Amino acid sequence: MNLKIKKLFERGSNFLGTSYPILGGAMTWVSESNLVSAISNAGGFGILACGSMDTKKLEEEIILTRSKTKKPFGVNLILLHPEIDELINCCILNSVDIVVFAGGFPKKSQIEKLKSKRIKTVCFATTLIIAKKMIQNGIDALILEGNEAGGHIGPVSINVLVQEILPHIKEIPIFVAGGIGRGEIILKFLQLGAAGCQIGTRFVCANESIAHEKFKNIFIKSEARNAQISVKIDERLPVIPVRAIENSATQDFVEEQKKLLDLVEKKKISLKDAQLSIEHFWAGSLKRAVIDGDIEKGSLMAGQSVSLVKEIQSVKHIFKELIEQMEIQINFEQKDFNHG
């Protein structure tokens, strides 16, 4: 590997305990023991998507992943989960390497509890103020995720987030996510000061991904513009937008919001319960597509980098391709500099 790339990898790789400073994005139903262990075995850092799992199911998945890899891997926990404290305890009991918090911002007490057991903590930052607040709370690393990503997304492009946050945060590693599908862009973010990146969409079509053949095929056929952001019908129902390839599930989500809003207005359920129902809707809809192969009624969560997914490859081959693209780019830059 090129020495300059090796140097750029150092901070992120040391933090993760990996060859490459590349995290596998946690994708519900997709990021299970098979794909997660494959990412870790290939030199990256696999992350289990806990999603709506209970503690028993999460523990089973951690044990199963550990039977498939001796390398480090992490667990992504959704802060909206009603059993979040029990899930944190499950990660402690099973000595997980890193916990990535999603769907909100972790409390100081939650971060400290994990850190006291030597488990590293990571969360997402959507603004510089939030990034600084999370650092004050003791977070070990941050992920900046642009709205180019698949699944739940924030409102800002990764290009803006990088400019807003990266130059001002030096004390902890920052990983970049959203729309990343080639090595050249990873190199650029590393040169700007990122410790590494997170990739989700590209790994959906890995050989080791358990996603249904129909689900993988729709990814291979899709363009960036096909991955659209879900419609929020009313400000009173606080739903996190989701990026997915448009199909019938897109309209079903609008109907689901109408139904839940009606129940909230009639005081039959609370706003928090309505939010949880939205999460269950997506989990069920995603399972229909990923596991059952229902690409009409199931949710096809995908980032805009779906246009860069051209074939089914092994995880190892995806990493090889990304590193080769980085090396070609850095050699080109060096050659250009020498001729300048």
pLDDT digits (tens, 9 = 90+) for 151-166: 989 899 999 999 999 9
Is pLDDT at 275 greater than 90 in this prediction? no
User: Is 312 found in the same domain as 296?
Assistant: no
Mean pLDDT of the chain: 95
User: Is 187 found in the same domain as 290?
Assistant: no
Q: CB neighbours of 154 closer than 8 A, spacing ≥ 6? A: 124, 126, 145, 146, 147
pLDDT value at position 337?
A: 63
Q: CB neighbours of 6 closer than 8 A, spacing ≥ 6? A: none
CA–CA dist 22, 34 (Å, integer): 17
- Model confidence pLDDT, tens digit, residues 118-153: 999 999 999 999 999 999 999 999 999 999 999 989
Q: What range defines the domain where residue 137 resides?
A: 3-211+307-334
Asked if residue 216 belongs to a domain, the reply is: no
pLDDT value at position 31?
A: 98
- pLDDT band at residue 216 using 50, 70 and 90 as cut-offs: very high
- pLDDT band at residue 276 using 50, 70 and 90 as cut-offs: confident
> How many Cβ atoms sit within 10 Å of the Cβ of residue 272?
11
Q: Nearest to residue 33, comparing CAs of 74, 5, 4, 2?
A: 74
Alpha-carbon dihedral sign for residues 58, 227, 157, 209: positive
Asked if residue 29 belongs to a domain, the reply is: yes
CA–CA dist 79, 153 (Å, integer): 15
104-119 average pLDDT score = 97
User: Is 65 found in the same domain as 157?
Assistant: yes
User: Is 180 found in the same domain as 113?
Assistant: yes
- Model confidence pLDDT, tens digit, residues 170-209: 999 999 999 999 999 999 999 999 999 999 999 999 999 9
- CB of 220 within 8 A of CB of 299? no
- Model confidence pLDDT, tens digit, residues 280-337: 898 899 999 999 999 999 999 999 999 999 999 999 999 999 999 999 999 998 776 6
User: Is 109 found in the same domain as 65?
Assistant: yes
Asked if residue 340 belongs to a domain, the reply is: no
